[in-house]
Every structure is written in C-alpha cells, then in structure tokens.
Structure 1
C-alpha cells in the first residue's frame, strides 16, 4: 500500500534527481531567498495582467465573528485579490482551516489599534511571508506600524515589506477592484486620562531594558556551537540586519490612540457585456473589431460608419457600497453623528445606487444598543442589511477542533473532555433539521472536506455508535441555551458566523442558514471505521484503563498518588484525598510548534495547582480561544479569576503572542478586585515589547508584575536564597519551589521545575535541544513535559533549529529519573500524530490539544498509543510515504555527491599523468 502511494506521484526518480542536481550547491538561505524572489516576480506579473479586468464575482465573507475568544474579521475576496478588515488574534488559524488562501492578500484595514483588531497581524505576517506575498499594505489610524517595531525581535520579516498607508480623512485607497474612503471617528475623551503604568512594577523602557537580541541568530549562524551560543545568552547582540523589510514609518503617537477608522467601500463599476445581437444590428463583422468594442473602444466599419462601444454593450454594472464601522464606546458617538459623509449612503442618498447595501458593525453590544447609535442606524433604509461582529455572537469558527476532540473522546471522555463551544449547530442524526455545510461554489473558499465513503457497520458497532452519538449529543444539548442565536427583532440585523457569505457581485440574496455544522454521527462513524482492527483496540484500551484504576501508583517520593501526601505543609493536610487525586491537573491548550494549524495550536499549558489556583506555561496565539472552547465562558471566568501567574519560557512568537489577550481577559474578570496583579514569570527582555504596546496602543502595564526568570536560575551551591516576598509569592501560587535553568535554544530561553505545596514536581522544557541543566533541575520529577518537535530521522534538522527529537526527549526523561514523560510541541507536519520509530515506553505519553490529565492518570497514557495509531491509520500512512520520499531524495543527493567526488578524483589522477 505504501509502495503504491509512493510511486503514484508524477515526479519520477529521474525528475527528483534533476531537481537535486540543480540545487545541490545552493545553501538553504540562498534557496529560500531565490524562492521568495521567484514568487514575488510571479505575483507582480499576475497582478499586472489582472489589472486589465474587473472580476465578475466578489464576495464579502465573515472570517471571525467577534465572539468571546474569536477574532472579528471580514474577508473580501475575488479571483484576483483579497482584502482583510481587522485581524484579531486567531485570524490565521481560521483562514488556514477554512482554506481562505492568503497568497493574494493585498491590503489589511484596521478600524481601531487594539489587540482585538490587530493581535493576529504578527502571526499573519509570518504566514503570508512563507507563501510568497512580497508586500502588504496596512490602512488605519496612525501608529499601526509600531506593532511591527515592537515585535521585530521575535517576528522576523525577511522577505515581506509592510507598508503603512497614511489615512487622511476622506482620502481614498483605489485599485481596479475597489475604492475605500477613510472616515476617522474621534473620541470626545482625552486618552491621557486612562490609568498610567507607573505603578505596574514594570519599568519604562530604558537603555538597559531595550531588547536588541536576535532570537533567531542560531538560524543564520549554524556553524556556531551550542556552548558558544550559551555564552551569548546574557549579553545583547547587535540589531538584526534582517529587518530591512520593516514597515515604512509615520510619526509615532505618544499615547494610545483615541481615533478609530471607518471605511466606506465601493466596488468599481464592471463594464457591460458585449451584445452580439446589437453588433449584428449595427453590421459589425466578426473579427478584431468585436474585441475593441468589448474593451470600450469605438470602431469605424469599412463603409465609414462609426459604431460606439456604448451602442453595442450592456450598461455598466454599478458597484455596490458597503460600510465598515467601529464605534468602540459612547465617547465616539458625537463624532459619528456629526459625520456628514455617511448621509450620502443613507436613505437621503442622491441616487438609489449610492445607498449602502451593507453596514458591518464592529461596535460592541453596549454601543449597538445605545439610543444614539440606533438613531444613526435608523437613517439607512430597510434595504440596507446590518452585519454584527462583536461579543454578542457565539461562533468561534472551528469545526476541526470539535471533530478531533469527538474522535479522541471515544477513547476516554475524562482525559479528552468534550468542548463547551456552543456556537456551531450540531447534527445528531440524518433527520436533523440543520443541514450539513453546503459544497462551496467558486470562488467561495471553504474547509469542508469531502465525506468519507460510508462503511456498513456490524450490529455490535452500530449499537456502540448509537451509544456514543447519544452521549455526545447529550453533552451539546446540555450547554447554555445560546447555541442557536435568537432571531433579531429587526429583519435587517444579521449575527455574524464564520464563513457567512455576502454576495456583492453578482448581487444575490443573503443565505442566513448556518454555514458550519458539527456532524457528530459522521465523526463517530469515521472513528469506528478508521481501521478494521480499531474496534478490538478500543475494547482492549477500555479494559486496560479499568485495570489501571485498580492499581496503586506512587510518586517519586514513594507516596501513593491517590492518598494524602505526608510531605506537605500543615495548612494543606486537611485537603480531601479526592482533591489530591485530581490536582495538580495539566491541560494542554497548544501542542504544535511555530504556527497554529487546525488541530494543534501553538504552545500553551494550563497547570491547575489546586482547587483555587492555576498558572499557564507559555501562551501562544489563540490560547484564550482554546480556553473559551474547552471551558465555556462561565467556567472560564472562574479559571481566569484563579489565574495567578503566566510563565513564558522564551521570546519566540509561538510561545507568547497570546499574552496580551489573557492579561486583558483576566483584568475584565477581576475588575472587582484589581489589587491582585497577574504575576508574569518571563525573561526580563519581554518588558521592551510590553512597554511599547502599553505606550502606543492600550495601557496594560498596571495589570501585571514582571518577575524575571533569572531570579530563580539554578547556580548550584552559589544560588542566593530567595527573599521572603518571593517565597510568599510562590506560596500564593500553590508552589513550594520554582527553579529555572538556561536551555539550548535561543538567547534567554529557560526550562523550569515546579514543586507544588502538595509535594508534586513538574518540569517543563520549553524549546530546547537535549540539555544537562534541565536534567539537573528536573531530577526525580513526577512529570516531565518535554518538546519533541522532530522525528528521530530528522535529528540534523532538529539540531539546526535547536529542538529535540522524540528519542532525545525520552532520553532526557530517563536521565532525570522522571516518573512520566509527556511529549509536546510537535512540528506541524505531524498535525494528528507524531511519527515514532518504535512503540512508546511504559512511562511516555503524547499530548494533544484539549487533553486534560491529573498526575494520578498518567500511568494510563501508555495504553493509548495502539488505538491512536489505528484511529489515525490513514494519516500514519501519509507521513510514512513522506518519510520514504525524503529518504529517497537524501539517497539521490548522497549518490550525486559521491559521483562528483569520484569524477574529481578521476580528473585529478589524469592531471597528474
């Protein structure tokens, strides 16, 4: 089967050899640069060609609905260009899942420079750079470019130019598809009246705290040894020369902006079609004259008659108008109501063609319900539709996350709990009134995968499937009763849902039926029929887990995990044994590396230390969204109120781009008790980025206290004792000790060992190559959470990027005598299951997003791998095929080099003669 798949591609062994022959002498960096230049050239040529035509199909589509935890984002797309309105955190993940291709993205329009609207820009920039976009233009209030100034050390744009457009009131951006008028709205309140950051405990930027470190230096200095790299970790490096593509600069604002930008958008007219009947009536002969008439040129016939293009073509199709409006709070209402330009597109418009067909409201619910805002909306006629993108919506937009969680839940419903996201309708049987997602029609972009072929089920499997579907349906029906949005009393108000499409050309009725759905029976059937051996493996797993429940297990101190631990403080001895069994509890929110994909988000782990305290280990982009999905808004409020600290292992983007949204979400929940700040345990260099954001965008410095990780660094016998304030801080987090060490990755990358007040020890590697320092601080851990970015055959790639392979991570666990090892941070090439060259050891498990496990459940993980391999059998075949192709290419390259050496040897010998 694998051999058939391997030989099926059109590329033959010879063609692979030819490709390698052409590139064998090129360095990795040179190949990347040349590839980027080729993509840029192709894109420019295609754009020049497309500018001659106005596209006939243009749609506006909801990417993010604005629900709590979801971005609020609109995507305007044609077969030629793409435009994005707002780019909140998580935008790129939804775009990836729903195949909203970003390679043709030209412009991004930001309404207000807040994290809700621009938090996805850094990650999106990295993604579109990788697909060959040469430049992107930002439109919005002054100072947008500062987001890339602040992130330039960990968002390195080597081949992407970011251009910031100066958006003067009533000026226009125009191309051959659209005209966009800038309409600024100004707050009536002075932004300087907000809270200052002087009490944050985090110093303002100074020469000492400026971060000029190149966090990707190891990628450009591959000859540098690990020991040499470690010597640099405490010193500043010269600024990276790779920021030549930094955004064009405008005057830097001195305080967070008090201006929001709205956009009046009108599609360019489309020339009317050539009428052959009219051409015949005007005696136009077949031939090149028809092409000239179609292009809008008048022509002269052989008899001297002049035929005007307008006489033989249909009337031009007038471009519809839509408005993107963001009124962040009541202080902007005066500016909104005084703005006269909107009247041109309301009921008082000079022509019916000028009336806006749609207003997209990014304004929050409390503004939308304000009488003065309603007054503004009432000035539009009933033909204008109003699209609502804010927190009143519930659609988080991801089907793939639910699908894989349903499948994993079949294995164990406690370790893989069902999600509490209720914003997508659920199909529970074939008679369900909610239809599946319709097949997309060009150029609509959708992630709907073709349904797998139906496989007849045996009576026993059919019975099992019925039980599983009933159980899963019961879960969804038990969620808060807002899974189906209430119909608005106003027929022109539309609650946004991800993938909802508004046809602008041609103008078609809006389909308000849910564009996404969760087909629970299909997910369960696909799981049970993934392999003929899977049902037996599932049964064996269930039996093993039942036996494991009856087996006592001890931690490395010799204490029974299920019983009270004697080595605890007196004030904790009264904790019930059931709580000791449950806590500490580890929940994986992101288990992928680099960029998010639809099944594995970037790094984040929720560590619930006890019933009243928890902390996060790293928080990649989209961590808040993961929390909302898993816990639901109500329980999440409890989690955020208990969140005492966020630990950041290092300053690569995939480990901390979710930080600002979490700081803000926690502040909203804890607004009644603002005195208890969030503790930020991080490399001290993070303060440069946070201070810049706080000064230029939104004030957040008063919401957290930064405690540098170097304070807890292991120096052996020379480590100074912690002061009483730090000890009290740890105790308030439920910890008796916290020890860090520098690891072998980028500068200022740390590993950490945590010991809870109940005596449990958990070590987290962050990103690193195998590291003796981590072994030292993690000795006798109950749990080691270690990155395993690459499979064993890619050890060279792992070394170049300073990551670990699966076997290296397992070996580190063995060297530190860790009782259990959980592997995480997998390359996104392993979206579902990492490739292992052998079965897992007794004490090793694989982490998945939304996996929740207590230390007492860790012995169960060894039983899951056989069923997981069968559940993802087809995917396992695919990665085996890729591995075989990779090995084939490597062999061809080795043979090539041997041939070259042999040829040189022969020529040298002949020369000596």
Structure 2
C-alpha cells in the first residue's frame, strides 16, 4: 500500500491558501485552507475528486480559509454523481471549526444542489476523534494567547443551521414538482415573471420555493478565533505474510493462506492451530503527519502547550514523520518555535507561508495565453506579474518550502519526494515554443495593419477597461469568473461584478513591488454587483477587506441588489475583522436609486446619472448604465451582467459610448441561451445596435469556448472587442482589436477545451 500527502496549493496571488491531499488506494482526504482559487487550482492540476470522502478545514473559520469551500463541495458532488452508477451519491463529510455551519448557511440564497450526501461537522473540544478504516484524525483547538473562547452554540441553533445546510445541498426539490397555489385568484391568469422559470406551472398550481431560500434570517452569531490543526495517524500496519514459514508449519497454499492474511487462525491436518502472528512479520506502529495552522505569533504559546499531543513527546517523535506548517514568517523565526522543531530531528518540516513561499504561477494555461497575447499586442495584453524567488529564506537543513506537487510518502516508508514538484512557469519557455514562433510572423502582419495607434472618435478616450474574468459559471484553465475593472483617469475606478479570484487577477496584472497593486485597490471607489450568483460576487469580501487595510477610514460604495447586502451583513457576523470593514461600506440598492448616498457616489466618480433596470436572468438581477461627465465629453458605459436581450436595458443604455455585454453562447446554441437566460454573441451585438452603442466589449463566455467565440463576418464591426482575461482596453484603442483577429486565431487554434462542458 502506498500512502502519501501532496501539496496541491501553496500561498500565491492565485491561491492564497494551502491545500494538502492525502492519498490512499481507496480514498482521498483534503486538509487545509480552501481559499479563493482552490477549485480552479484542482482543475488546473487535473486532480480527480471522485475518491475524496472527507475535507478537514484548518485555522479559524474565516473567509481566507473557506472562500472556496462551497464551490469545492459542489464540484465534489458532481464528481461523486458522475463516478457512481445511477447517480448514487458517495458520502462527503466536511470538518471545521466553530461557525462552519453558520458561514455555509449565509450562502443559502445562491448555493443550491439536490441529492448530495453531505455531513458538516463543527469540531469543538470534547468530541471523539475521527476514525475510519484508514486513519485516525485528532484535532487541536488553539486560541490566541490571552483570549477566551466564544460561548458554545446551543443544540437548537446547531439544528437550525444544520437543516439550512442540508436544504442547500441535499434536498429532493424538483423543478417539475407543483403544489396548489392557494393565493391564486379564480379566473385570473398568473403573470409571468421573466426572472423566474421560462415555463409557467399548470393553472392553479405553483412551484414550491427552494427550501433553503425560505429562511429569512439566521440566528445571531459571534466570531470564533479558534484555529484548528490536526494530527493524522494511520492504523497499525500488519506485518508481511511469510509463506515459507506457513508451509513449514503445515499450511497448504490456497484458502488457508487467505484466512491467515485476513487475521483468522487455521488448523492443520495434524490438528495444530496456527495463528496469524505465527506466520507474519511483527506489526508496525501506525505513523502519520501533522497539519499545523498557526495564523500568527499570538497562537504559538497555546499551540506549544497543546495537550495531550505533546505530553508524550516520545510517541509524537516516533509517529509524526512530517509537519506541514501553515503559518507566518514571524512564527518560523521565533526561538520558541525553533526549539519545538528541534525536538523532532527525524521528522521533515514543510513551511507554507505567504511571506516565505515564492509567488508561483498556479494557472499556467492562462499565463501561457497571456505571454502569447502580449507578443501580439503589448498595449492590449500584459504579461502576468510573478516573482519566483522565496520571499524569505529558511534553513534548508531544517525546512522545505511548500510547492504544488511536493509529496511526503508515509507508506511503505518515510520519504520526501521533491521530483514531483510542479515546474515553475517561465515566460522564456513560452517564447522558445513552436507556438510562439508560429505566431511571430502573424503578429508582425497584425502590427502592420495598425499603421499608427488608432484613436477612436468616442468620448472618454483614456478610459481603461480591464477584463479580469471573462468566463461564466465556473472558472476554467483559460478564463476566470466575472469581473471587470473600469479606470477613469483622474476620477477613480469601479469594479463591475467581482467573482471569486478577482483580487488574484489584479495581483497578476499589477506589480506587487513598487506599490502598483495598492494604488489600484486604493483607487476603487465603487463595486457594482449585478446579481447574487456566486460567479459574480464571491470575490467582494477579499476586495473589501484589502481596501479597508489600505484605507481604514475611506468609504467604499457598493451598488447591488438588496439580497447581496443582506448576505454581506450576515456573513460579517462570523468574521472577526468584518465589522470594521462593513462600517466603511456605503450601500446603494439597485432596486431603489433614491438612496441618500447616491449624490455622494455621483460626485465621487464624476457621474451625472446612474440607471438600473431588471435583467432577464434570475430574481434580483439587474442591468446598469453609468453616465460620466468627463473633460472630453459625456461618456456612457452600460453593463448587462447576465441577461437575455432586454428592452428595458436597451432603453437605459441608449447612446452608450461603450456597452459591456455578456455573450455566453455562440449563435448555434440559441436554445440553450433561452433556457438558461443568457445571450448569444449575435444577440449581444444586436443589443449594441439597438442602443446605438459606439463600441461593445463581449464577455462572460461559456467555458465551452477557451478560444475565440465565433462571429459571422457581418458581425465584426470596427469597435467590437472579444474579452480575454487580463486584457487592457482603452477606449481610444477599440478599433485596433479587429486587426488582431488573425493572431488570436493562431494563438487559440490548438488550445484544448479544458474541463469539458460546464453548467452555466
């Protein structure tokens, strides 16, 4: 049997947290911090999820450790359903600290799946250790020094939250199930709501609501600062069967050999009883690993005093082959920590720290495309920013720095395997590739087609649009989920939607050295959220927290549906620092722009008007139009979010300078676009024509299309831009995109379709 622990993610701009996968022949176990980008990293590494049975979260239950949890649960549910006959679900258990149930429950309005077999277990002192056929997991509950724990949640609260989570993932709700509509008026036809299902229920009937969505509010909670760590130990390893000795004792090969190896005694023909231990090598004590999450120096004293794990130091020294340290450079340099490490000279110590690990490129597919795009037009496409040198040095005789692919083998013998580490991404390797050479001639031809920088006759010439995430629903190797940064020079910036990983995308675009990323974040004055689907807003919490750390006394405007603000407020109750963050949030509901805060927002961004209109997509989804008064004229920017072609949006977006419109499907998938309430490329371009928009940026492409979405020759206007992750589009450069079409086709001609067909 081979058993090993593998680092899947280490701290970087792409994946801020550390994730470890423990492999057995029959099962896999996930340990660590499920930060933003974790699900995409699994996809990038082609990690199969079908054997994952348990997820063990480390550290406190807070956004930096759990942001990727819901997405991973859904992905695991899909993997289990696909892998088992008849869609029967393999069970999944998620283990974590206090407030885990609450944090998941806050997502009830936008996370939903039926039929999963899911158990969510909050780990509190006094619970029995986890044990299955492979291992034992013991939990360490560590508080910061001098801080008391929060009051325990009562059974009623836990039951309420447990049911909410169960309704989110495990209900038997069905789109085709109907109940009597007790509120229907006789003879009155029900009015069709375009934001709901495309098909009305039978007369006198209605669909019951999604179970979890009926929960209006959650019980109050308080933040928990308990950090969870684990000691994992395999069961005793039975010794090797000795067939020669068994024969010598009179045992014939065959069924009796099998009985002895399975632990049963056998009687020989002479009547002699042979026990398994008579023909086996001595059993070996089970060994394992420790996953130690120490968020700051304040946690170190209580970790070192953690009983009973360190009381029997001799046993710990003998059984813990490797420590995975999820911590900070400050902890690693502390003499008390170094003294503890010195007590385990035979163990290996793997450090995973944001201020020690190099900023590796995790999403190599996107990075490769970015290098190729940059060679085509450096003005439109930036190379990804990275620094692959360790941020701090550690003693190599004592420590190994965590890196994706690094493995610690537990069975059959202890062994650190560095040859499995993922190679670093280097731009020069792409430059030397055949694809780059094939592109060179085409790139030169494209540059000649742009004899001089083309300056459009549109207002707002210097406005910049950075398409940070251009995919739909789920991230893929080539496209992250929705987010667009709009920079208005000498005025400020705004984010249009803010999907998971938005902060990481910004860090890859703007240098972290020299303060460029801090300047960009400080310049953001507004976050606009179109609707509550997870791919459009799960990056907001990280952005708001980072903004607060840079500008603790500056307001940040948030414009979006009221249910989004409800989620922010609910979630903030469970996060230690979020109360201060939320104190700076100035929220304006999309449903009602008569907010007292609206004049302040208009002034802050030199706006004369903001208009919203309901989208044709889901409940509480919106489209928006912003009108700016700039030095070179009136600049109007309209953004669709997710929607079907929408007359109300056309009306508020009339005479837009730039339209940013979703184009989820190509034109040959119009039926799917109607069913899922999205738009095709052709439909989006028709909206632009009806608006009289000066230019249009198409985005939010289905993950079916890692390459260029198809457009007919008649649709390729002078100011039509197909968005790619990391593109920088200045309004004055809109027309130049058309000259790059041939180069884009070369870049994506051989790209594989990553991840198959995903749900929109």
The TM-score, its normalising length taken from structure 2, stands at 0.84
SS of the residue corresponding to residue 674 of structure 2 reads: helix
Separation of aligned partners in 2, 1:838 and 1:79: 53
Deviation at 1:807, TM superposition (A): 0.5
Q: Is the 8 A contact 1:65 1:498 kept in 2?
A: yes
Separation of aligned partners in 2, 1:131 and 1:783: 40
Deviation at 1:221, TM superposition (A): 7.7
> 1:330 and 1:539, CA in 2 relative to 1: closer, same or farther beyond 3 A?
closer
Q: Is the 8 A contact 1:219 1:801 kept in 2?
A: no
Deviation at 1:314, TM superposition (A): 3.0
1:617 matches 2:581 = no
Moved more, 304-313 or 761-770: 304-313
SS of the residue corresponding to residue 511 of structure 2 reads: helix
What residue in structure 2 maps to residue 632 of structure 1? 511
Separation of aligned partners in 2, 1:839 and 1:102: 44
Q: Deviations over 1:304-326 (max 9, x none)?
A: 23322223233334332211222
Separation of aligned partners in 2, 1:755 and 1:602: 26
Instruction: Identify the match of residue 730 of structure 1 among 602, 609, 619.
Output: 602
SS of the residue corresponding to residue 405 of structure 1 reads: helix
Separation of aligned partners in 2, 1:221 and 1:807: 31
What residue in structure 2 maps to residue 300 of structure 1? 267
Q: Is the 8 A contact 1:58 1:77 kept in 2?
A: yes
Separation of aligned partners in 2, 1:244 and 1:136: 23
Q: How does 1:440-459 map onto structure 2 within 5 Å?
A: none
Deviation at 1:339, TM superposition (A): 1.9
Separation of aligned partners in 2, 1:373 and 1:839: 67
Q: Deviations over 1:790-848 (max 9, x none)?
A: 11111111111110011100111111111111111011111233244557412322111
Deviation at 1:166, TM superposition (A): 4.5
Deviation at 1:176, TM superposition (A): 1.1
Separation of aligned partners in 2, 1:273 and 1:638: 63
> 1:229 and 1:824, CA in 2 relative to 1: closer, same or farther beyond 3 A?
same
What residue in structure 1 maps to residue 347 of structure 2? 383
Separation of aligned partners in 1, 2:176 and 2:651: 28
What residue in structure 2 maps to residue 744 of structure 1? 616
Separation of aligned partners in 2, 1:701 and 1:127: 31
Q: Is the 8 A contact 1:74 1:84 kept in 2?
A: yes
Instruction: Identify the match of residue 288 of structure 1 among 255, 262, 279.
Output: 255
Separation of aligned partners in 2, 1:746 and 1:163: 29
SS of the residue corresponding to residue 107 of structure 1 reads: strand
Deviation at 1:875, TM superposition (A): 4.6
Q: How does 1:301-700 map onto structure 2 within 5 Å?
A: 301-344=268-311, 348-350=313-315, 353-354=318-319, 356-393=320-357, 394-423=359-388, 483-484=389-390, 487-489=393-395, 491-512=397-418, 514-518=421-425, 520=427, 522-524=429-431, 526=433, 528=435, 537-547=442-452, 549=453, 551-555=454-458, 581=461, 583-611=462-490, 613-634=492-513, 635-670=516-551, 674-700=552-578
SS of the residue corresponding to residue 484 of structure 2 reads: strand
Deviation at 1:406, TM superposition (A): 1.4
Q: Deviations over 1:499-527 (max 9, x none)?
A: 22222223353244652222545534556
SS of the residue corresponding to residue 193 of structure 2 reads: helix
Q: Is the 8 A contact 2:196 2:618 kept in 1?
A: no
SS of the residue corresponding to residue 100 of structure 2 reads: coil
SS of the residue corresponding to residue 646 of structure 1 reads: strand
Q: How does 1:837-852 map onto structure 2 within 5 Å?
A: 838=713, 840-842=715-717, 843-852=719-728
> 1:127 and 1:739, CA in 2 relative to 1: closer, same or farther beyond 3 A?
same
Deviation at 1:586, TM superposition (A): 0.8
1:66 matches 2:11 = yes
What residue in structure 1 maps to residue 154 of structure 2? none
Deviation at 1:849, TM superposition (A): 0.5
Q: CA RMSD in A?
A: 3.4
> 1:263 and 1:782, CA in 2 relative to 1: closer, same or farther beyond 3 A?
same
What residue in structure 2 maps to residue 87 of structure 1? 34
> 1:637 and 1:808, CA in 2 relative to 1: closer, same or farther beyond 3 A?
same
Q: Deviations over 1:635-662 (max 9, x none)?
A: 2111112121211111101000111111
> 1:188 and 1:521, CA in 2 relative to 1: closer, same or farther beyond 3 A?
closer
Q: Is the 8 A contact 2:561 2:591 kept in 1?
A: no
SS of the residue corresponding to residue 80 of structure 2 reads: coil
Moved more, 764-773 or 280-289: 280-289
What residue in structure 2 maps to residue 241 of structure 1? 210
SS of the residue corresponding to residue 504 of structure 2 reads: helix
Q: Deviations over 1:175-196 (max 9, x none)?
A: 1111101121123455899xxx
Q: Is the 8 A contact 1:587 1:852 kept in 2?
A: yes
Q: Deviations over 1:111-170 (max 9, x none)?
A: 210111111111112222222353421212222111221001101122224312243436
SS of the residue corresponding to residue 314 of structure 2 reads: coil
What residue in structure 1 maps to residue 143 of structure 2? 186
Separation of aligned partners in 2, 1:238 and 1:373: 59
Separation of aligned partners in 2, 1:734 and 1:141: 45
Moved more, 374-383 or 138-147: 374-383
SS of the residue corresponding to residue 266 of structure 1 reads: strand
1:797 matches 2:676 = no
Q: Deviations over 1:748-806 (max 9, x none)?
A: 11111123332322211100000111111212222111101111111111111110011
Runs of at least 5 residues in structure 1 that lack an aligned partner in the other structure: 1-55, 194-209, 424-482, 562-580, 714-719, 883-913
Moved more, 387-396 or 595-604: 387-396
Separation of aligned partners in 2, 1:222 and 1:767: 27
Q: Is the 8 A contact 1:272 1:314 kept in 2?
A: yes
What residue in structure 1 maps to residue 221 of structure 2? 254
What residue in structure 2 maps to residue 908 of structure 1? none
Deviation at 1:587, TM superposition (A): 0.8
What is the total number of aligned residue pairs between the two structures? 697
> 1:243 and 1:732, CA in 2 relative to 1: closer, same or farther beyond 3 A?
closer
SS of the residue corresponding to residue 696 of structure 1 reads: coil
The TM-score, its normalising length taken from structure 1, stands at 0.71
The structure with the largest alpha-carbon Rg is 1
Q: Deviations over 1:596-615 (max 9, x none)?
A: 11110000011111256211
What residue in structure 2 maps to residue 831 of structure 1? 706
Q: Is the 8 A contact 1:406 1:520 kept in 2?
A: yes
Q: Deviations over 1:291-310 (max 9, x none)?
A: 11221222122222332222
Deviation at 1:683, TM superposition (A): 0.9
Deviation at 1:281, TM superposition (A): 3.2
> 1:380 and 1:240, CA in 2 relative to 1: closer, same or farther beyond 3 A?
farther
Separation of aligned partners in 2, 1:832 and 1:416: 16
Q: Is the 8 A contact 1:627 1:636 kept in 2?
A: yes
Q: Is the 8 A contact 1:690 1:701 kept in 2?
A: no
> 1:156 and 1:422, CA in 2 relative to 1: closer, same or farther beyond 3 A?
same
1:96 matches 2:43 = yes
1:156 matches 2:112 = yes
Please identify which structure carries the higher helix content.
1
